[in-house]
Amino acid sequence: MQGGQVAVEGPVLRLASVLTPSKPKFFPSLTKVVGTLGPNSRSVEVIEACLEAGMSVARFDFSWLDENYHQETLDNLRVAVKNVKRLCAVMLDTMGPALQVCNKSGNPIEMMAGNHVTITPDVTREPSAEILPVNYSGLANAVIKGDTIFVGQYLFTGIETTSIWLEVLETRGKDILCLVKNSATLLGSIFTMHASQVHIDLPTLTDVDKQLRAFIKAQNLHETQIFAKVETVEGLRHFDEILEEADGIILSRGNLGIDLPPEKVFLFQKSAIHRCNMIGKPAIITRVVDSMTANLRPTRAEATDVANAVLDGW
């Protein structure tokens, strides 16, 4: 303090930089933005808007629909990239060993807390409030009474009302009788099913994944890299070995949030990015600003989540 005045230095300059308006269409590229091209975001016009907003990686979800659908989306992406003159990488997300419930009719399914529902491997059955057919015949052998099973169109974040939690009551042959823990409406044509901390003995590569290899070859895509998606407790236990073999890491927070409490997912996120940064491999986190599917602005918690991830080096 000199002459009764407080010396103000660095922090004020940093505050001034915050108050300075951002330059239009200026996007520093240290942190990339991955956007999924789905039914509402696959047209040329929407993809162009995404590219101009800062999307630098377009994700294709091969866990649903066929090659023709994704080929059309890829063609639209190429047109959009040419129109706006912005480069964009392509991410092909494989299906992998996923438990799924196929709702062929697409009709909403109303689930009420306290009711019973049976999970069955008989995929010829139509999903309803009483029956959920799953694409795996060995689930009844993997779960026990008291286990928790999640079902929903998207993996749980804590804010959506279109997913349910089930408690296993008993197994009846290959069927599983469950108690519905919360009321919700299941929406969409495919529901994800996840048994918390239960090892599912499904093949690592499915027929869909094998078809994807042919799709990549047909597109003449160069410099293809493999990013390992860590989404289970088993993946956490072997994280170092996975990181050594993969070109990069995807931390699937939606899946991990089912197996682990949120505060532990946060701690592992910190540890994972540190390890990736130390050996110079890229890392991706999933499920950011989920509330913006229905709102124009993120919540404060979501904005802080993104900022914290960027500062950590994602």
pLDDT tens digits for range 72-110: 999 999 999 999 999 999 999 987 888 889 888 889 999
Q: Are 169 and 115 in contact (CB under 8 A)?
A: no
Q: Are 288 and 294 in contact (CB under 8 A)?
A: no
**Burial group, residue 218, by CB count within 10 angstroms (0-12, 13-18, 19+):** exposed
pTM of the predicted protein model: 0.81
What pLDDT, in 10s, does the model give residues 242-282?
999 999 999 998 888 888 887 888 889 999 999 999 999 99
Q: Are 305 and 292 in contact (CB under 8 A)?
A: no
What Cα–Cα distance (Å) separates residue 158 from each residue in 36, 155, 167, 170, 304?
21, 9, 18, 27, 17
| Residue corresponding to tokens 């409030």 | 129
CA distance 28 to 6: 35
Buried b (16+ CB within 10 A) or exposed e, 252-273: bbbbbbbbbeeeebeebbeebb
pLDDT, position 4: 45
pLDDT, position 211: 80
Strands 116-120 and 131-133: what pairing? parallel
pLDDT, position 97: 81
pLDDT, position 164: 92
CA distance 126 to 288: 33
CA distance 124 to 102: 10
Per residue of the chain (314 residues), what is the pLDDT tens digit?
Answer: 444 444 444 444 466 666 677 666 655 567 899 999 988 899 999 999 999 999 999 999 888 778 889 999 999 999 999 999 999 999 999 878 888 898 888 899 999 999 999 999 999 999 999 999 999 999 999 999 999 999 987 655 555 577 899 999 999 999 999 999 999 999 888 888 988 888 888 877 877 788 888 888 888 777 789 999 998 888 999 999 999 999 999 999 888 888 888 788 888 999 999 999 999 999 999 989 888 877 899 999 999 999 999 998 87
Angle between helices 262-279 and 300-312 (to 10 degrees): 30
pLDDT, position 62: 86
* Residues in contact with 288: Cβ distance below 8 Å, sequence separation at least 6, in sequence order: 302, 305, 306, 309
